[in-house]
Every structure is written in structure tokens, then in C-alpha cells.
Structure 1
Amino acid sequence: MLFLVAALLLLGVVMGSIAHAPLPVTLVAAVVIGVWLAVFAVRERNARRRHTSTN
């Protein structure tokens, strides 16, 4: 839960900064965040599959 709060806080800071950043910087930041979220989702899905298959 604390990780989620920290991620949302970081997102708020980044969104505030993005308002003043040029478009290429904004797009790079969006891609980095998107890849990070995709990797997190895949890891969570794999962990849940392994956890449920062993029970």
C-alpha cells in the first residue's frame, strides 16, 4: 500500500513538471511510466499464477 501511495505521489510530481516541459520530454516520460507499469503488471500476473497453481 505504501508503494502505491509513493507511486501516486511521484506521478503527481511528474505531472506538475510535465506541464512545463517540452513535448518530446513529456512523451519520453509517458513511455517510461507506461513500460514500468506494464512490467509491474506482468510480474504481478506471473506471481499470482505461480501462487495459485501451488495451492
Structure 2
Amino acid sequence: MLFLVVALFLFGALLGTAGHVPVSVTVVAGIAIAVWLVVFFTRERRKAGSTTKGAGR
């Protein structure tokens, strides 16, 4: 639940900031967030895959 509150707070801060900074800064920030999400996703998938492989033994 705390993660959701923090995520919504950051989302609101980004939306508020996006109206005041140049488009290039907003695009770079969006790309950085997208890259972080892809890295997080792949790390979680690898972690989940390694635990299910050992469960069959």
C-alpha cells in the first residue's frame, strides 16, 4: 500500500513538472522511467524463473 501511495505521489509530481519543463526534458525522463521498468521487469522474470526451476527437485 505504501508503494502505491509513493507511486501516485511521484506520478503527480511528474505530471505537474511536465507542464513546466521543456519537452526534451520530459521525453528524457519518460525514457529513463521506461528503461528502469524494463530492467526491473527482466530482473523479476529471471528471479521468478530461477525459483520455479528449483521447485521441481
TM-score when scaled to structure 2?
0.79
Identical aligned residues as a percent? 47
| Cα offsets for 1:1-55 (capped at 9, x unmatched) | 5334423321221121112111100110011000010001001100100011110
Instruction: Name the counterpart of 1:3.
Output: 3
2:44 aligned residue: 44
Please give the root-mean-square deviation of Cα atoms over the aligned residues, in Å.
1.5
Question: 1:53 is matched with which residue?
Answer: 53
Distance 1:54 1:2, change over 3 A: farther
TM-score by length of 1: 0.82
Aligned pair count reads 55
Give 5+ residue unaligned stretches, structure 1: none
Bigger CA radius of gyration: 2
Which runs of no fewer than 5 residues in structure 2 stay unpaired? none
Aligned equivalents of 1:47, 1:6: Cα separation in 2: 24
Moved over 4 A (4+): none
